[in-house]
Structure 1
Amino acid sequence: MYSKEQASQIKQSFWTTFGQYIAPQLSAEGMKINWVNYKTGIKHVNFRMQAESRIASIGIEITHPDAGIQELFFEQFKELKLVLTGALNEDWEWELHGHDEYGKTVSRIYHQLNNVSIFNRNDWPALISFFKPRIIALDEFWSDAKYSFDALK
């Protein structure tokens, strides 16, 4: 078992390693990008990568505090589901009005990888192989889809 500080250091080390690995990859628009802290440009819409002790996930999180507006964003993503699935080449889970680890209402479109641990360095190649193509695919999707959300800004 790791102390809180050790766990934090291991997580930071993984995300630094991942960031360095993916840094040469340009965005779909040919720009240098911070992949680990991806900015969608729309408040309350985030691309989130998470890795814990038994699971990793990547997804789109809609965190608007107003549940009705959150649902509008979710519905807009549903309108683009075929485009999103085409970019990702796989089906993801769709969850309207779930809850995050703090009890806040969030809506998510996500994919997860089970039986991996950020605390096991031997799992890092699997984690990187899981995250890299999916965050790149999300970026490719978003380079066109973000304009569909202009009215909801």
Structure 2
Amino acid sequence: MYTKDEAKAIKIGFWDGFKRFSKKKGRKMTSWVLKGTQIKEVQLKFDLNEKGAFVMLQIDSKLDTNRLSVFESFEKYKLVIDETCGPELKWERDYLIEGFKEVSMIYFQLPGAIVYKKEEWETYYQFLFEKMSILEEAYLDVKEVIQNSSF
């Protein structure tokens, strides 16, 4: 078992390694769309937690009606998004972030990914990089029509 400080250092090491991996692949971390989606409720995110590695489009708002309206706007273009992303993309209207809040998510998941398995980091980096490239492309394909939707 790791101390709190050791666990934190490992997580920092993982994300620093991913930054280097992305740079080698030609993408600086700052070049991903991520929070600069230009739709207030939408963020593209990376995560690695006890449920695995995630690449996600997260829809969040203080008002559930706004969140659900934005999610429904994306659902209208599900066929277009799924065509780019493939069948492993998951759609969840109501996803509970444990102990936090409910959001809507469109995401890829690599179950079983654990930050403490350093020998697997390269596999995780590849997953995160490839899936975010695909999800970001799908997002950019529909962004303009989603922005022009009435929420």
Deviation at 1:53, TM superposition (A): 4.3
Gaps of 5+ in 1: none
Distance 1:111 1:55, change over 3 A: same
Gaps of 5+ in 2: none
Counterpart of 2:67 (choices 49, 66, 70) is: 70
Aligned to 1:16: 16
Tell me which amino acid in the other structure corresponds to 1:51.
L
Deviation at 1:79, TM superposition (A): 1.1
Deviation at 1:77, TM superposition (A): 0.9
In structure 1, distance between residues paired with 2:140 and 2:30: 13
Which of 99-108 and 70-79 deviates more? 99-108
Deviation at 1:18, TM superposition (A): 0.9
TM-score in terms of structure 2 length: 0.85
Distance 1:74 1:37, change over 3 A: closer
Is the Cα–Cα contact under 8 Å of residues 22 and 35 in structure 1 kept in the other structure?
no
Structure 2 residue 104 is matched with structure 1 residue 107: yes
Deviation at 1:60, TM superposition (A): 1.0
Deviation at 1:100, TM superposition (A): 1.2
Alignment coverage as a number of residue pairs: 149
Aligned to 1:127: 124
TM-score in terms of structure 1 length: 0.84
Deviation at 1:16, TM superposition (A): 1.4
Describe how 1:1-153 pairs up with structure 2 within 5 A: 1-23=1-23, 24-25=25-26, 33-35=30-32, 37-53=34-50, 55-151=52-148
**CA RMSD after TM alignment:** 2.3
